[in-house]
Structure 1
């Protein structure tokens, strides 16, 4: 999952980059508006509105106009007029400094889930790192090559894809896919994931284990 962090303060940027990478995100940093607008495509932007070379509100509008990438405004401007202005410029969420890492991670996951769900509703398909998941036809293709997943394997992959890169706990996967709360199904889930990875071939690393918790998709969706 690729995140562009637009932050001119080196100390803040260093702390945020470290925290996000520890949670599995691929973070790229831009220190100016010019760098942000020149950056390659990402899955989400964390945008400081107090940039040295251009108003962050203008940057937000430009980023959203170029393809609808989700944007979370991260700023010290906490007044209601600032929040309203930021949200009206296209920001999907607004986080005021100082904030906790847990809160920011939760907001990132929520925005990504909404974004992924919106794309799925519009097209019926999800594309993740070259893997196309057609929810209507229940088919999966890697780089255009159809992959024969079982019904349960497809259900697990589709559930992870809809989560938009957020980690999904084991018990939730078992309940939603197998319709049971039996603890012994956790091993069955692991077997299905292992088999699925084998079938995905070069994209096997797409399904990432979150130790002691569950699974997530390791790359961004588009």
Structure 2
């Protein structure tokens, strides 16, 4: 029998009216929701609640969302939990900073609860979907991806990637040698069919390259189009 346990969502926002609205919308779709209005209690609650996804405000007193996201990414039990920033900080630099911190998505206030729920469902579906026929181990150069264990190694050493970074790397490796447009990546990694900032793709690719270190040059930029996992490294071509 399939596991029917509801997915758990942690909502952290110092505005109680906003968190109540988000919680109501998510509970109506069958999610189990925990709400934290005091940012100082967010990490403790996350460690006991063990959410499947966190919705996080950015501008909060004492401890802001960027700091909380970094703390989540540093916690062994929480580092792979997807994070959606929900914030009034709508400037491009703010969005980029949020994504660079390790967030998987960024939604600006005022927001549509319907869109928020769809984004939550999209991220969780992407993580839960399995493809039994796909190879469990992918390798390009010294990059080794274990799709079953959701692990990445570079030169035999483990590398920590967010869920989005992992899916981006996996897709590029599976389609090695083929150019992936930014729009195609948005659809297949983020599951976004609507037009959003393609800067999202560029930011994640840059973060991924930084984590790949000496193997970063396997990911080629196709100017004006997108990205490709190279067939051969530049020095070997």
**Shorter-chain TM-score: which interval?**
0.5 to 0.7
Unmatched runs of 5 consecutive residues or more in structure 2: 1-6, 137-145, 151-237
1:1-222 alignment runs, 5 A limit: 1-39=7-45, 40=48, 41-66=50-75, 67-117=79-129, 122=146, 124=148
For the residue of structure 2 that corresponds to 1:86, the secondary structure is helix
Cα distance, 1:35 vs. partner?
1.1
For the residue of structure 1 that corresponds to 2:61, the secondary structure is coil
Cα distance, 1:112 vs. partner?
1.3
Unmatched runs of 5 consecutive residues or more in structure 1: 127-222
TM-score using structure 2 length: 0.49
Q: Larger relative contact order (C-alpha < 8 A, sep ≥ 6)?
A: 1
Cα distance, 1:105 vs. partner?
1.0
Mapped partners of 1:116, 1:93: distance in 2: 17
For the residue of structure 2 that corresponds to 1:112, the secondary structure is helix
Cα distance, 1:68 vs. partner?
1.3
Residue by residue, what CA displacement relative to the aligned partner does 1:110-148 show, whole Å, maximum 9, x if unpaired? 21123335998645379xxxxxxxxxxxxxxxxxxxxxx
Q: Which has the higher helix share?
A: 1
RMSD: 2.3
For the residue of structure 2 that corresponds to 1:4, the secondary structure is strand
